[in-house]
Amino acid sequence: MAIWWNNLTAYGQIAFAIAISATFVMIIFLVLMLFGVENDNSFDDGADDISDAEDLFNDEPLGQFSGLRVLTLRGALAFLGIGGWGALIFEPITGSIWSTVIGIVLGALAAVLLAYALRVAMKLESSGNLDYDNAIGQTATVYLRIPKKRTGKGKVTLTIQERFIEIDAITDEEEEIPNKCLVEVIGIENKTTLIVKIKK
C-alpha cells in the first residue's frame, strides 16, 4: 500500500483522498438507511445552507424538465466519489487537466443518474395501495415552492400510511408558498395532486 501510494502523483493522491472519503461516507449513509436509522428526508436535505441552492436548481423551468433532486448531500457524495475515482483512473492516461474534466463529467452524470433512480424509486413507493385521501388534514413540508392561486404545481413531502412520499401540490393562497414552509392538506385534485394551505 505504501509503495502504491508513493507512486501516485500529488494529483493522484488528492483524487484518491476525495474519492475514498466520499465513498466511505456514502456507504455509511446507505447502511444507516438499510437499518432504518436514516430517512430519505434528512439524507436529501443535508445542511440548511444548501436548501436555497437546492430549491433554485429544481425550480422552474428546470423543475418542469426533470424535477430531479440533484443538488443534495446524496448528489454531492456521488459527484465526489465517482468524479474522484474517474480522475484517479484517467490521470496516468490523459494527464491532470483532462482527467479533471473527465472526473467532473463522470461525477455530474453519477449525481443525475442517482437523482433519477431515487425519483423513480419514490414514485414506485408512492404508488400501489396508497390512498391519498388519508393525507387530508395532515401537515406536509414544501419541497419545491408552490405558485399562488393554482398558477402552477409545487411539491410537498409527508408521511402517508407509514410511507414517506413526495407529491405534487397546488394552493389557493394569494402568495406563493416558499420552500420548507409547513402546510396543511385540505383536499385532492386529479387523485395525485394535493391542495394545501399555509399551516397556521
Question: 34-78 pLDDT, tens per residue?
Answer: 665 544 444 444 433 333 433 333 443 333 334 455 567 778 888
Residue bearing the bigger pLDDT, 101 or 63 = 101
Which triple of cell numbers denotes residue 13? 493522491
Kindly list the structural domains of the chain, giving each domain's residue range(s) and its CATH number in brackets, ordered by start. Answer: 7-126 (no CATH), 132-198 (2.40.50.140)
pLDDT at 1 over 90: no
pLDDT at position 66: 43
DSSP 3-state of 148 = helix
In sequence order, the 6+-apart residues with CB closer than 8 A to the CB of 161 are 129, 130, 131, 134
pTM: 0.51
> Is 51 buried (19+), middle (13-18) or exposed (0-12) by CB count in 10 A?
middle
pLDDT per residue as tens digits for the range 4-13: 777 778 888 8
Helices 10-34 & 73-94, crossing angle to 10 degrees?
150
Residue 128: what pLDDT?
Answer: 55
Query: What are the cell numbers at 74?
Result: 446524496
Q: Give the three cell numbers for residue 20.
A: 475514498
Top pLDDT among 53 and 142 is at: 142
Question: Parallel, antiparallel, or unpaired: how do β-strands 193-198 and 163-171 relate?
Answer: parallel
The confidence score (pLDDT) of residue 184 equals: 94
Q: What grid cell was written down for 175?
A: 402568495
Backbone torsion region of residue 134, taken as left when φ is above 0, otherwise alpha when ψ lies between -120 and 50, otherwise beta: alpha
Cell of 69: 433532486
Q: Give strand ranges (E) for 70-189.
A: 139-144, 154-160, 163-171, 182-189
Alpha-carbon span 166 to 186, nearest angstrom: 17
- Cα dist. 14→73, 76, 187 in Å? 21, 17, 53
Residue carrying C-alpha cell 461516507: 25
Q: Report pLDDT for 13.
A: 87
Task: Provide the pLDDT for residue 92.
Answer: 86
**pLDDT tens column, 156-179:** 999 888 888 888 999 999 999 999
Mean predicted lDDT score pLDDT of the chain: 78
Tell which residue, 71, 57, 66, 42, has the closest CA to residue 145: 57
- Average pLDDT score over residue span 103-125: 79
Which pLDDT does position 131 carry in this prediction? 80
Beta bridge partners of 188: 194
